[in-house]
Protein backbone atom coordinates (compact mmCIF):
# COMPACT_ATOMS: atom_id res chain seq x y z
CA UNK A 1 0.00 0.00 0.00
CA UNK A 2 2.82 2.39 0.83
CA UNK A 3 4.46 1.74 -2.54
CA UNK A 4 1.19 2.28 -4.37
CA UNK A 5 0.55 5.57 -2.60
CA UNK A 6 4.09 6.73 -3.31
CA UNK A 7 3.78 5.87 -7.00
CA UNK A 8 0.43 7.57 -7.27
CA UNK A 9 1.79 10.71 -5.64
CA UNK A 10 4.19 11.07 -8.53
CA UNK A 11 7.82 10.22 -7.86
CA UNK A 12 9.06 6.66 -8.42
CA UNK A 13 10.62 5.33 -5.20
CA UNK A 14 13.95 4.61 -6.91
CA UNK A 15 14.51 8.01 -8.52
CA UNK A 16 17.30 8.65 -6.07
CA UNK A 17 19.18 5.77 -7.68
CA UNK A 18 19.36 7.49 -11.08
CA UNK A 19 22.84 9.02 -10.56
CA UNK A 20 24.32 6.89 -13.33
CA UNK A 21 21.70 8.15 -15.75
CA UNK A 22 22.46 11.75 -14.76
CA UNK A 23 26.16 11.14 -15.43
CA UNK A 24 25.25 9.69 -18.83
CA UNK A 25 23.15 12.71 -19.78
CA UNK A 26 25.99 14.98 -18.62
CA UNK A 27 28.25 13.29 -21.17
CA UNK A 28 25.55 13.61 -23.82
CA UNK A 29 25.22 17.34 -23.09
CA UNK A 30 28.92 17.72 -23.89
CA UNK A 31 28.22 16.86 -27.54
CA UNK A 32 26.61 20.19 -28.49
CA UNK A 33 28.44 22.20 -25.80
CA UNK A 34 31.92 21.12 -26.92
CA UNK A 35 31.72 22.66 -30.43
CA UNK A 36 30.79 26.04 -28.97
CA UNK A 37 33.74 26.02 -26.55
CA UNK A 38 36.07 24.70 -29.26
CA UNK A 39 34.90 27.42 -31.62
CA UNK A 40 36.02 30.10 -29.17
CA UNK A 41 39.42 28.44 -28.73
CA UNK A 42 39.89 28.06 -32.49
CA UNK A 43 39.11 31.72 -33.05
CA UNK A 44 41.85 32.70 -30.57
CA UNK A 45 44.46 30.83 -32.61
CA UNK A 46 44.06 33.19 -35.52
CA UNK A 47 45.45 36.64 -35.95
CA UNK A 48 43.05 39.26 -34.73
CA UNK A 49 44.84 41.67 -37.03
CA UNK A 50 42.53 40.40 -39.77
CA UNK A 51 39.49 41.71 -37.92
CA UNK A 52 39.75 45.25 -39.29
CA UNK A 53 39.62 43.75 -42.79
CA UNK A 54 36.70 41.50 -41.84
CA UNK A 55 34.83 44.38 -40.19
CA UNK A 56 35.41 46.67 -43.15
CA UNK A 57 34.89 44.37 -46.12
CA UNK A 58 33.26 41.08 -45.07
CA UNK A 59 31.01 41.28 -42.04
CA UNK A 60 28.98 44.46 -42.79
CA UNK A 61 27.75 43.23 -46.17
CA UNK A 62 27.25 39.65 -44.97
CA UNK A 63 25.45 40.75 -41.80
CA UNK A 64 23.27 43.22 -43.70
CA UNK A 65 22.26 40.62 -46.27
CA UNK A 66 21.65 38.01 -43.56
CA UNK A 67 19.42 40.35 -41.56
CA UNK A 68 17.53 41.42 -44.69
CA UNK A 69 17.05 37.78 -45.67
CA UNK A 70 15.83 36.79 -42.20
CA UNK A 71 13.42 39.72 -41.96
CA UNK A 72 12.01 39.02 -45.41
CA UNK A 73 11.67 35.28 -44.82
CA UNK A 74 10.16 35.89 -41.37
CA UNK A 75 7.46 38.20 -42.72
CA UNK A 76 6.73 35.87 -45.65
CA UNK A 77 6.41 32.64 -43.64
CA UNK A 78 4.35 34.35 -40.93
CA UNK A 79 1.89 35.77 -43.48
CA UNK A 80 1.56 32.62 -45.60
CA UNK A 81 1.64 30.19 -42.66
CA UNK A 82 -0.96 32.04 -40.56
CA UNK A 83 -3.18 32.72 -43.57
CA UNK A 84 -3.12 29.09 -44.71
CA UNK A 85 -3.78 27.82 -41.17
CA UNK A 86 -6.78 30.13 -40.75
CA UNK A 87 -8.16 29.21 -44.19
CA UNK A 88 -8.26 25.45 -43.54
CA UNK A 89 -9.42 25.87 -39.93
CA UNK A 90 -12.05 28.60 -40.03
CA UNK A 91 -13.69 27.66 -43.35
CA UNK A 92 -15.23 24.49 -44.75
CA UNK A 93 -15.11 24.00 -48.54
CA UNK A 94 -14.65 21.10 -50.99
CA UNK A 95 -11.03 19.95 -50.96
CA UNK A 96 -10.22 21.50 -47.59
CA UNK A 97 -9.25 18.22 -45.97
CA UNK A 98 -6.79 17.35 -48.76
CA UNK A 99 -5.45 20.90 -48.81
CA UNK A 100 -4.76 20.80 -45.07
CA UNK A 101 -2.03 18.17 -45.56
CA UNK A 102 -0.95 19.22 -49.05
CA UNK A 103 0.20 22.51 -47.51
CA UNK A 104 2.89 20.51 -45.68
CA UNK A 105 4.48 19.16 -48.87
CA UNK A 106 7.09 21.94 -49.32
CA UNK A 107 8.80 20.54 -46.21
CA UNK A 108 9.80 17.56 -48.37
CA UNK A 109 12.04 19.70 -50.60
CA UNK A 110 15.33 21.10 -49.27
CA UNK A 111 15.92 24.78 -49.94
CA UNK A 112 18.87 24.11 -52.24
CA UNK A 113 16.76 21.73 -54.35
CA UNK A 114 14.07 24.41 -54.83
CA UNK A 115 16.73 26.96 -55.81
CA UNK A 116 18.25 24.43 -58.21
CA UNK A 117 14.85 23.77 -59.83
CA UNK A 118 13.77 27.39 -60.15
CA UNK A 119 17.09 28.48 -61.64
CA UNK A 120 16.38 26.04 -64.44
CA UNK A 121 12.66 26.81 -64.65
CA UNK A 122 13.12 30.59 -64.84
CA UNK A 123 16.12 30.55 -67.17
CA UNK A 124 15.58 32.79 -70.23
CA UNK A 125 15.43 29.61 -72.32
CA UNK A 126 13.48 27.69 -69.66
CA UNK A 127 9.86 26.55 -69.76
CA UNK A 128 8.29 29.39 -67.75
CA UNK A 129 9.72 32.26 -69.78
CA UNK A 130 9.19 30.28 -72.98
CA UNK A 131 5.49 29.80 -72.18
CA UNK A 132 5.05 33.50 -71.33
CA UNK A 133 6.74 34.59 -74.58
CA UNK A 134 4.53 32.19 -76.54
CA UNK A 135 1.37 33.62 -74.96
CA UNK A 136 2.51 37.21 -75.60
CA UNK A 137 3.63 36.55 -79.17
CA UNK A 138 7.38 37.01 -78.65
CA UNK A 139 9.93 34.73 -80.28
CA UNK A 140 13.24 35.17 -78.42
CA UNK A 141 14.61 36.27 -75.04
CA UNK A 142 15.90 39.44 -76.68
CA UNK A 143 12.30 40.59 -77.17
CA UNK A 144 11.03 39.69 -73.71
CA UNK A 145 12.78 38.49 -70.56
CA UNK A 146 11.64 38.28 -66.94
CA UNK A 147 13.84 39.73 -64.18
CA UNK A 148 16.53 37.34 -62.97
CA UNK A 149 15.46 35.30 -59.95
CA UNK A 150 18.96 35.63 -58.52
CA UNK A 151 19.08 38.20 -55.78
CA UNK A 152 17.62 39.00 -52.40
CA UNK A 153 13.97 39.08 -53.50
CA UNK A 154 14.19 35.73 -55.24
CA UNK A 155 15.99 34.17 -52.28
CA UNK A 156 13.33 35.42 -49.83
CA UNK A 157 10.50 34.10 -51.98
CA UNK A 158 12.03 30.68 -52.56
CA UNK A 159 13.11 30.13 -48.95
CA UNK A 160 9.72 31.36 -47.75
CA UNK A 161 7.86 28.95 -50.06
CA UNK A 162 9.78 26.03 -48.55
CA UNK A 163 9.78 27.11 -44.90
CA UNK A 164 6.24 28.46 -44.31
CA UNK A 165 4.96 24.98 -43.19
CA UNK A 166 6.84 25.46 -39.90
CA UNK A 167 4.46 28.32 -39.08
CA UNK A 168 1.44 26.65 -40.68
CA UNK A 169 1.84 23.47 -38.66
CA UNK A 170 2.23 25.19 -35.29
CA UNK A 171 -0.47 27.81 -35.85
CA UNK A 172 -3.03 25.35 -37.26
CA UNK A 173 -2.66 23.16 -34.17
CA UNK A 174 -3.26 26.24 -32.01
CA UNK A 175 -6.32 27.34 -34.00
CA UNK A 176 -7.82 23.84 -33.71
CA UNK A 177 -7.45 23.96 -29.93
CA UNK A 178 -8.84 27.44 -29.35
CA UNK A 179 -12.13 27.88 -27.56
CA UNK A 180 -15.27 28.41 -29.59
CA UNK A 181 -16.71 30.41 -26.70
CA UNK A 182 -14.18 33.19 -27.28
CA UNK A 183 -15.06 33.40 -30.96
CA UNK A 184 -18.79 33.40 -30.25
CA UNK A 185 -18.35 36.10 -27.60
CA UNK A 186 -16.47 38.27 -30.10
CA UNK A 187 -19.15 37.71 -32.74
CA UNK A 188 -21.85 38.62 -30.20
CA UNK A 189 -20.06 41.90 -29.59
CA UNK A 190 -20.24 42.71 -33.29
CA UNK A 191 -16.75 41.69 -34.39
CA UNK A 192 -16.57 40.51 -38.01
CA UNK A 193 -15.03 37.17 -38.94
CA UNK A 194 -11.86 38.89 -40.14
CA UNK A 195 -11.86 40.86 -36.89
CA UNK A 196 -12.01 37.59 -34.94
CA UNK A 197 -8.84 36.51 -36.71
CA UNK A 198 -6.93 39.73 -35.96
CA UNK A 199 -8.29 40.43 -32.46
CA UNK A 200 -8.86 36.95 -30.96
CA UNK A 201 -7.37 34.00 -32.82
CA UNK A 202 -4.04 35.50 -33.90
CA UNK A 203 -3.11 37.07 -30.52
CA UNK A 204 -3.78 33.73 -28.80
CA UNK A 205 -1.63 31.99 -31.43
CA UNK A 206 1.31 34.34 -30.93
CA UNK A 207 3.46 31.71 -29.15
CA UNK A 208 2.93 29.29 -32.03
CA UNK A 209 3.77 32.01 -34.56
CA UNK A 210 6.98 32.83 -32.70
CA UNK A 211 7.94 29.15 -32.55
CA UNK A 212 7.26 28.53 -36.24
CA UNK A 213 9.01 31.69 -37.42
CA UNK A 214 12.09 31.01 -35.28
CA UNK A 215 12.39 27.46 -36.67
CA UNK A 216 12.04 28.77 -40.22
CA UNK A 217 14.67 31.46 -39.63
CA UNK A 218 17.11 28.95 -38.15
CA UNK A 219 16.73 26.83 -41.28
CA UNK A 220 17.23 29.91 -43.46
CA UNK A 221 20.35 30.84 -41.52
CA UNK A 222 21.71 27.31 -41.89
CA UNK A 223 21.27 27.38 -45.67
CA UNK A 224 24.34 27.44 -47.91
CA UNK A 225 23.28 26.01 -51.26
CA UNK A 226 20.24 28.17 -52.05
CA UNK A 227 21.84 31.45 -50.99
CA UNK A 228 24.99 30.68 -52.99
CA UNK A 229 23.03 29.67 -56.10
CA UNK A 230 20.90 32.84 -55.83
CA UNK A 231 23.82 35.20 -55.23
CA UNK A 232 23.03 36.21 -51.63
CA UNK A 233 26.15 36.39 -49.49
CA UNK A 234 25.01 35.50 -45.97
CA UNK A 235 27.14 35.13 -42.85
CA UNK A 236 26.93 31.34 -43.21
CA UNK A 237 28.27 31.53 -46.74
CA UNK A 238 31.04 33.86 -45.55
CA UNK A 239 32.09 31.28 -42.95
CA UNK A 240 32.14 28.58 -45.61
CA UNK A 241 34.10 30.63 -48.17
CA UNK A 242 36.59 31.91 -45.58
CA UNK A 243 37.48 28.35 -44.61
CA UNK A 244 37.29 26.57 -47.96
CA UNK A 245 38.40 29.32 -50.36
CA UNK A 246 40.90 31.21 -48.21
CA UNK A 247 41.95 28.21 -46.04
CA UNK A 248 41.58 30.42 -42.97
CA UNK A 249 39.99 28.26 -40.29
CA UNK A 250 40.57 30.69 -37.37
CA UNK A 251 39.08 33.49 -39.45
CA UNK A 252 36.06 31.33 -40.23
CA UNK A 253 35.72 30.58 -36.51
CA UNK A 254 35.80 34.29 -35.73
CA UNK A 255 32.98 34.96 -38.20
CA UNK A 256 31.08 31.97 -36.81
CA UNK A 257 31.25 33.47 -33.32
CA UNK A 258 29.65 36.63 -34.67
CA UNK A 259 27.06 34.44 -36.36
CA UNK A 260 26.09 32.88 -33.03
CA UNK A 261 24.79 36.31 -31.99
CA UNK A 262 22.09 35.96 -34.65
CA UNK A 263 21.25 32.49 -33.37
CA UNK A 264 20.95 33.70 -29.78
CA UNK A 265 18.76 36.55 -31.00
CA UNK A 266 16.42 34.14 -32.80
CA UNK A 267 16.12 31.96 -29.70
CA UNK A 268 15.44 35.05 -27.58
CA UNK A 269 12.69 36.14 -29.99
CA UNK A 270 11.08 32.70 -29.79
CA UNK A 271 11.19 32.71 -25.97
CA UNK A 272 9.79 36.23 -25.85
CA UNK A 273 6.92 35.27 -28.14
CA UNK A 274 6.04 32.30 -25.93
CA UNK A 275 6.26 34.13 -22.60
CA UNK A 276 2.44 34.00 -22.13
CA UNK A 277 1.89 30.56 -23.55
CA UNK A 278 0.31 29.29 -20.32
CA UNK A 279 -2.26 32.08 -20.45
CA UNK A 280 -3.18 31.26 -24.05
CA UNK A 281 -3.52 27.56 -23.30
CA UNK A 282 -5.76 28.29 -20.34
CA UNK A 283 -8.41 29.77 -22.61
CA UNK A 284 -9.18 26.42 -24.23
CA UNK A 285 -12.46 24.58 -23.73
CA UNK A 286 -13.96 21.34 -24.92
CA UNK A 287 -15.80 23.08 -27.79
CA UNK A 288 -13.72 24.50 -30.68
CA UNK A 289 -15.19 27.17 -32.91
CA UNK A 290 -17.23 26.00 -35.88
CA UNK A 291 -15.89 26.41 -39.41
CA UNK A 292 -17.93 28.55 -41.80
CA UNK A 293 -19.14 26.63 -44.86
CA UNK A 294 -18.30 28.18 -48.25
CA UNK A 295 -20.05 27.37 -51.51
CA UNK A 296 -19.91 28.43 -55.14
CA UNK A 297 -17.25 30.86 -56.28
CA UNK A 298 -16.16 31.57 -52.71
CA UNK A 299 -15.30 27.91 -52.16
CA UNK A 300 -13.43 27.79 -55.47
CA UNK A 301 -11.54 30.97 -54.56
CA UNK A 302 -10.58 29.58 -51.15
CA UNK A 303 -9.30 26.35 -52.70
CA UNK A 304 -7.32 28.21 -55.36
CA UNK A 305 -5.84 30.60 -52.82
CA UNK A 306 -4.80 27.77 -50.52
CA UNK A 307 -3.30 25.80 -53.42
CA UNK A 308 -0.92 28.60 -54.48
CA UNK A 309 1.78 27.85 -51.85
CA UNK A 310 1.57 24.15 -52.73
CA UNK A 311 1.84 24.89 -56.45
CA UNK A 312 4.89 27.15 -56.21
CA UNK A 313 6.49 25.54 -53.15
CA UNK A 314 6.20 21.91 -54.21
CA UNK A 315 4.34 21.03 -57.43
CA UNK A 316 6.36 23.15 -59.88
CA UNK A 317 9.87 22.32 -58.60
CA UNK A 318 9.03 18.66 -57.90
CA UNK A 319 7.37 18.24 -61.29
CA UNK A 320 10.33 19.82 -63.07
CA UNK A 321 12.80 17.62 -61.19
CA UNK A 322 10.77 14.50 -62.00
CA UNK A 323 10.66 15.45 -65.68
CA UNK A 324 14.42 16.10 -65.85
CA UNK A 325 15.13 12.86 -63.97
CA UNK A 326 12.97 10.89 -66.41
CA UNK A 327 14.78 12.39 -69.40
CA UNK A 328 18.12 11.57 -67.82
CA UNK A 329 17.10 8.00 -67.03
CA UNK A 330 15.69 7.48 -70.52
CA UNK A 331 18.91 8.72 -72.06
CA UNK A 332 21.62 7.23 -69.83
CA UNK A 333 19.95 5.20 -67.07
CA UNK A 334 21.32 5.02 -63.54
CA UNK A 335 24.99 5.89 -63.36
CA UNK A 336 27.46 4.07 -61.12
CA UNK A 337 28.22 7.14 -58.98
CA UNK A 338 24.53 7.67 -58.20
CA UNK A 339 24.18 4.13 -56.90
CA UNK A 340 27.24 4.50 -54.66
CA UNK A 341 25.99 7.88 -53.44
CA UNK A 342 22.65 6.34 -52.50
CA UNK A 343 24.54 3.74 -50.48
CA UNK A 344 26.69 6.40 -48.80
CA UNK A 345 23.63 8.48 -47.95
CA UNK A 346 21.72 5.56 -46.46
CA UNK A 347 24.77 4.41 -44.49
CA UNK A 348 25.57 7.71 -42.77
CA UNK A 349 21.89 8.57 -42.27
CA UNK A 350 21.19 5.22 -40.61
CA UNK A 351 24.28 5.44 -38.39
CA UNK A 352 23.45 8.98 -37.27
CA UNK A 353 19.81 8.02 -36.66
CA UNK A 354 20.76 5.12 -34.38
CA UNK A 355 23.14 7.33 -32.37
CA UNK A 356 20.71 10.24 -32.07
CA UNK A 357 17.76 8.07 -31.05
CA UNK A 358 19.80 6.14 -28.47
CA UNK A 359 21.31 9.26 -26.90
CA UNK A 360 17.98 11.07 -26.99
CA UNK A 361 16.22 8.23 -25.18
CA UNK A 362 18.88 8.16 -22.46
CA UNK A 363 18.73 11.95 -21.97
CA UNK A 364 14.92 12.02 -21.84
CA UNK A 365 14.75 9.11 -19.40
CA UNK A 366 17.33 10.70 -17.10
CA UNK A 367 15.23 13.87 -17.04
CA UNK A 368 12.21 11.72 -16.10
CA UNK A 369 14.08 10.08 -13.24
CA UNK A 370 15.17 13.38 -11.75
CA UNK A 371 12.90 16.10 -13.13
CA UNK A 372 13.97 18.68 -10.54
CA UNK A 373 17.70 17.95 -10.64
CA UNK A 374 20.58 18.64 -12.97
CA UNK A 375 19.38 16.05 -15.50
CA UNK A 376 16.53 18.31 -16.68
CA UNK A 377 18.93 21.18 -17.34
CA UNK A 378 21.44 18.88 -19.01
CA UNK A 379 18.71 17.46 -21.25
CA UNK A 380 17.91 21.00 -22.37
CA UNK A 381 21.60 21.73 -23.02
CA UNK A 382 21.80 18.64 -25.23
CA UNK A 383 19.25 20.17 -27.61
CA UNK A 384 21.09 23.42 -28.40
CA UNK A 385 22.82 21.87 -31.41
CA UNK A 386 19.66 22.17 -33.50
CA UNK A 387 19.81 25.95 -33.15
CA UNK A 388 23.41 26.09 -34.37
CA UNK A 389 23.98 26.07 -38.16
CA UNK A 390 25.75 23.02 -39.53
CA UNK A 391 28.71 25.09 -40.70
CA UNK A 392 29.33 26.36 -37.17
CA UNK A 393 28.97 22.86 -35.70
CA UNK A 394 31.60 21.47 -38.05
CA UNK A 395 34.11 24.24 -37.39
CA UNK A 396 33.64 23.75 -33.66
CA UNK A 397 34.21 20.00 -33.97
CA UNK A 398 37.38 20.22 -36.04
CA UNK A 399 39.74 20.95 -33.13
CA UNK A 400 38.64 18.08 -30.83
CA UNK A 401 38.33 15.66 -33.74
CA UNK A 402 41.79 16.67 -34.96
CA UNK A 403 43.22 16.11 -31.50
CA UNK A 404 41.66 12.64 -31.28
CA UNK A 405 42.88 11.74 -34.77
CA UNK A 406 46.38 12.89 -33.80
CA UNK A 407 46.32 10.77 -30.64
CA UNK A 408 45.16 7.73 -32.61
CA UNK A 409 47.87 8.26 -35.23
CA UNK A 410 50.54 8.59 -32.52
CA UNK A 411 49.37 5.41 -30.82
CA UNK A 412 49.29 3.56 -34.13
CA UNK A 413 52.79 4.67 -35.05
CA UNK A 414 54.11 3.15 -31.82
CA UNK A 415 52.98 -0.23 -33.13
CA UNK A 416 53.95 0.42 -36.73
CA UNK A 417 50.36 0.96 -37.92
CA UNK A 418 49.50 3.92 -40.16
CA UNK A 419 46.00 5.00 -39.11
CA UNK A 420 45.82 8.31 -40.98
CA UNK A 421 42.83 10.46 -40.09
CA UNK A 422 40.81 7.73 -38.41
CA UNK A 423 37.72 9.77 -37.57
CA UNK A 424 37.58 12.08 -40.58
CA UNK A 425 38.67 9.46 -43.07
CA UNK A 426 36.18 6.84 -41.89
CA UNK A 427 33.18 9.14 -41.84
CA UNK A 428 32.87 8.92 -38.04
CA UNK A 429 33.44 12.68 -37.77
CA UNK A 430 30.60 13.30 -40.22
CA UNK A 431 28.28 11.05 -38.21
CA UNK A 432 29.27 12.89 -35.02
CA UNK A 433 28.45 16.24 -36.64
CA UNK A 434 25.02 14.91 -37.58
CA UNK A 435 24.49 13.68 -34.01
CA UNK A 436 25.29 17.11 -32.58
CA UNK A 437 23.10 18.87 -35.12
CA UNK A 438 19.99 16.73 -34.70
CA UNK A 439 20.18 15.44 -31.13
CA UNK A 440 17.29 17.73 -30.21
CA UNK A 441 14.93 15.69 -32.39
CA UNK A 442 15.89 12.48 -30.59
CA UNK A 443 15.44 14.06 -27.16
CA UNK A 444 12.13 15.63 -28.12
CA UNK A 445 10.73 12.42 -29.58
CA UNK A 446 11.72 10.37 -26.53
CA UNK A 447 10.29 12.99 -24.14
CA UNK A 448 7.00 13.00 -26.03
CA UNK A 449 6.79 9.22 -25.81
CA UNK A 450 7.77 9.00 -22.15
CA UNK A 451 5.29 11.72 -21.21
CA UNK A 452 2.48 9.31 -22.15
CA UNK A 453 3.74 6.64 -19.73
CA UNK A 454 2.00 7.01 -16.34
CA UNK A 455 4.31 7.41 -13.35
CA UNK A 456 2.41 4.63 -11.61
CA UNK A 457 4.07 2.15 -13.97
CA UNK A 458 7.46 3.17 -12.58
CA UNK A 459 6.34 2.15 -9.12
CA UNK A 460 4.78 -1.06 -10.43
CA UNK A 461 8.06 -2.00 -12.14
CA UNK A 462 9.90 -1.40 -8.87
CA UNK A 463 7.56 -3.67 -6.92
CA UNK A 464 8.33 -6.41 -9.46
CA UNK A 465 12.04 -6.06 -8.81
CA UNK A 466 13.15 -3.87 -11.73
CA UNK A 467 15.59 -1.02 -11.27
CA UNK A 468 15.66 2.12 -13.47
CA UNK A 469 17.49 0.32 -16.30
CA UNK A 470 15.21 -2.69 -16.32
CA UNK A 471 12.08 -0.52 -16.22
CA UNK A 472 13.44 1.54 -19.12
CA UNK A 473 14.06 -1.52 -21.32
CA UNK A 474 10.95 -3.53 -20.43
CA UNK A 475 8.34 -0.83 -19.72
CA UNK A 476 9.16 2.65 -20.97
CA UNK A 477 10.90 1.84 -24.25
CA UNK A 478 8.12 -0.44 -25.59
CA UNK A 479 5.42 2.08 -24.64
CA UNK A 480 7.30 5.04 -26.16
CA UNK A 481 8.41 3.25 -29.33
CA UNK A 482 5.86 5.06 -31.54
CA UNK A 483 7.19 8.54 -30.74
CA UNK A 484 10.79 7.33 -30.87
CA UNK A 485 10.20 5.75 -34.29
CA UNK A 486 8.69 9.01 -35.56
CA UNK A 487 11.73 10.91 -34.29
CA UNK A 488 14.01 8.37 -36.00
CA UNK A 489 12.25 9.00 -39.31
CA UNK A 490 12.66 12.76 -38.94
CA UNK A 491 16.34 12.39 -38.09
CA UNK A 492 16.99 10.08 -41.04
CA UNK A 493 15.41 12.47 -43.53
CA UNK A 494 17.08 15.56 -42.03
CA UNK A 495 20.49 13.89 -42.16
CA UNK A 496 19.89 12.85 -45.75
CA UNK A 497 19.07 16.46 -46.72
CA UNK A 498 21.83 18.13 -44.67
CA UNK A 499 24.24 19.96 -46.98
CA UNK A 500 26.54 22.39 -45.06
CA UNK A 501 27.96 19.86 -42.58
CA UNK A 502 28.31 17.19 -45.27
CA UNK A 503 30.19 19.52 -47.60
CA UNK A 504 32.72 20.51 -44.97
CA UNK A 505 33.66 17.34 -43.11
CA UNK A 506 32.95 14.40 -45.42
CA UNK A 507 35.87 12.09 -46.26
CA UNK A 508 37.72 12.48 -49.54
CA UNK A 509 35.91 10.95 -52.52
CA UNK A 510 32.83 10.43 -50.36
CA UNK A 511 29.73 11.86 -52.01
CA UNK A 512 26.13 11.81 -50.84
CA UNK A 513 23.03 12.70 -52.80
CA UNK A 514 23.08 16.22 -51.35
CA UNK A 515 26.72 16.91 -52.25
CA UNK A 516 26.26 15.37 -55.71
CA UNK A 517 23.32 17.68 -56.39
CA UNK A 518 25.26 20.68 -55.09
CA UNK A 519 28.21 19.91 -57.36
CA UNK A 520 26.04 19.48 -60.45
CA UNK A 521 24.12 22.69 -59.76
CA UNK A 522 27.38 24.59 -59.20
CA UNK A 523 28.56 23.39 -62.64
CA UNK A 524 25.23 24.28 -64.22
CA UNK A 525 24.53 20.69 -65.30
CA UNK A 526 21.07 20.59 -63.75
CA UNK A 527 19.86 17.53 -65.62
CA UNK A 528 22.66 15.39 -64.14
CA UNK A 529 21.60 16.28 -60.60
CA UNK A 530 17.88 15.72 -61.18
CA UNK A 531 17.96 12.05 -60.16
CA UNK A 532 19.62 12.83 -56.83
CA UNK A 533 17.16 15.68 -56.25
CA UNK A 534 14.18 13.43 -57.03
CA UNK A 535 15.35 10.77 -54.56
CA UNK A 536 15.80 13.40 -51.84
CA UNK A 537 12.31 14.77 -52.46
CA UNK A 538 10.72 11.29 -52.57
CA UNK A 539 12.23 10.28 -49.22
CA UNK A 540 11.44 13.72 -47.77
CA UNK A 541 7.73 13.10 -48.31
CA UNK A 542 7.76 10.39 -45.60
CA UNK A 543 7.90 12.76 -42.59
CA UNK A 544 5.30 14.96 -44.29
CA UNK A 545 2.93 11.97 -44.32
CA UNK A 546 3.73 11.46 -40.63
CA UNK A 547 3.02 15.10 -39.81
CA UNK A 548 -0.22 15.02 -41.80
CA UNK A 549 -1.42 12.04 -39.75
CA UNK A 550 -0.59 13.90 -36.53
CA UNK A 551 -2.51 16.93 -37.80
CA UNK A 552 -5.46 14.73 -38.77
CA UNK A 553 -5.47 13.31 -35.24
CA UNK A 554 -5.63 16.82 -33.79
CA UNK A 555 -8.50 17.69 -36.12
CA UNK A 556 -10.46 14.55 -35.23
CA UNK A 557 -9.95 15.22 -31.53
CA UNK A 558 -11.36 18.73 -31.97
CA UNK A 559 -14.33 17.45 -33.97
CA UNK A 560 -15.04 14.78 -31.35
CA UNK A 561 -14.96 17.44 -28.64
CA UNK A 562 -17.39 19.56 -30.63
CA UNK A 563 -19.76 16.60 -31.11
CA UNK A 564 -19.60 15.81 -27.39
CA UNK A 565 -20.36 19.43 -26.52
CA UNK A 566 -23.44 19.39 -28.82
CA UNK A 567 -24.79 16.19 -27.25
CA UNK A 568 -24.55 17.78 -23.85
DSSP letter string, 193-247: HHHHIIIIIHHHTHHHHHHHHHHHHHHHHH--HHHHHTT---HHHHHHHHHHTT-
CATH topology of domain 14-41+338-510: MetI-like fold (1.10.3720)
E strands, 338-445, in order: none
What pLDDT does residue 286 have? 43
- The distance of Cα 435 from the centroid of its chain, to the nearest Å, equals 14
Tally of helices (H runs) and strands (E runs) in the chain: 30, 2
Q: How far apart, in Å, are the Cα atoms of 445 and each of 267, 348, 358, 361?
A: 20, 20, 11, 8
First to last CA, the chain: 39
Q: How far apart are CA 190 and CA 196, in angstroms?
A: 10
Is residue 37 within a helix (H) or strand (E), and if so which, with residue range?
helix 19-45
In which residue ranges of the chain is CATH 1.10.3720.10 found?
A: 14-41+338-510, 46-285
Q: Are 431 and 355 in contact (CB under 8 A)?
A: yes
Q: How far apart are CA 39 and CA 397, in angstroms?
A: 8
pTM: 0.78
Q: Are 443 and 416 in contact (CB under 8 A)?
A: no
Angle between helix axes 206-222 and 152-177 (nearest 10 degrees) is: 150
In angstroms and rounded to an integer, the radius of gyration of the C-alpha atoms of the chain is 26
Name the nearest CA neighbour of 531 among 287, 334, 274.
Answer: 334
What pLDDT does residue 155 have? 92
Is residue 55 within a helix (H) or strand (E), and if so which, with residue range?
none
What 8-state DSSP symbol labels residue 256? H
Name the nearest CA neighbour of 357 among 469, 242, 270, 482.
Answer: 482
Positions in the chain whose pLDDT score sits under 50: 1-16, 278-287, 554, 557-568
Task: Please tell me the CATH code under which domain 46-285 is placed.
Answer: 1.10.3720.10
Cross-strand partners of 303: none
In the chain, what's the furthest Cα-to-Cα distance? Answer: 88
What pLDDT does residue 13 have? 47
Amino acid sequence: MTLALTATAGAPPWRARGSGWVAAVALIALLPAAPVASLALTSLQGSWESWPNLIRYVLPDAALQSVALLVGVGVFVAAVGCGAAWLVTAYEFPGRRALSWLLLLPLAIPTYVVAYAYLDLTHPLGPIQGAIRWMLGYHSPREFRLPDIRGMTGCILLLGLVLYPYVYLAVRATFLGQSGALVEAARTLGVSRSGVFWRVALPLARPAVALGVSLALMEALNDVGASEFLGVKTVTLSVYSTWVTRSDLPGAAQIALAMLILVVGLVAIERWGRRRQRFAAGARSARPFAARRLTGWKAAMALALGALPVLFGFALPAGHIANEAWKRLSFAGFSGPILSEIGNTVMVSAAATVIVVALGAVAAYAARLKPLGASKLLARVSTIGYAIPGTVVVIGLLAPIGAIDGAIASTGSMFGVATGLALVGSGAALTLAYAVRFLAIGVGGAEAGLARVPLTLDGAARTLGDGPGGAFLRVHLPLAKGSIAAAALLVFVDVMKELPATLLIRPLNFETLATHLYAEAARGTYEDGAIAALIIVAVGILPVILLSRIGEGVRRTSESSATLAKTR
